[in-house]
Amino acid sequence: MAVTIEEIGTLVRLQLGRRNVSAGDRFMEDLGAESADLVNIIAAAEDKFQVSFDEADIPGIRTVDDLYEFIKNAFGDQKPF
């Protein structure tokens, strides 16, 4: 199974209750996410895509696209499905 940027966008939109989200949007700067929102996004991504995020990785995931790349790479490493 391959993850798409659209799926990540939908997940972020649902978690933040926003209508529009672009790949380049930064979670805090552009989408106004607070730390609790980020926890929700990461936890939702873990549940949906069965991946695991190391806490040290999280500061490097700043945009929707970063999240997509992280999950895509995790799939590449883990081949979960």
Partner 1 sequence: MRRELGNMEKAEATTNEHFPFNAVIIIRISSGPAKKTLQSLLQYLQRRHPLLGVHIHKEKNRYFFVSEGTPAIPLKVVKRQTNDHWQQVAEEELNRDFDMFTGPLIRFTYLLGSGSKKESEIVISIQHAIMDAVSAANLIHEILSFFRETESGGSVEEVKTMEPLPSVEAFFPPSFKGLRRKWNTFLFVLRQIGDEFRYRVRTRGQRKPPVHPTGKCKILPMKLSKELTTALIKCSRKKRITVNNLLTAAIIMAAHKHLYDGQKRPLRHFNTADLRPYLIPPLDNQYFGSYFAMMMFTVGMKENPKVWELAREINDFVHASLKRGDKFGANLLSYQMMRTLFRYRSFRMANTALSYTGSILMEKNYGSIEVQDIHAFVSNFVLGPEYTALVKLFDNHIYWDILYLDSDMDHEQAKVIADEIRTILESAAKEES
**DSSP state at residue 76:** H
d(CA 53, CA 1): 19
Listed in order, strand segments (DSSP E) in the chain are none
d(CA 67, CA 42): 9
Nearer CB in complex with partner 1: 4/39: 39
* Near partner 1 in 8-67, by CB under 8 A: 26, 28-29, 32, 34-37, 39-40, 42-43, 46, 53, 55-56, 58-60
The residues of the shown chain that bind partner 1, judged by CB under 8 A, are 26, 28-29, 32, 34-37, 39-40, 42-43, 46, 53, 55-56, 58-60
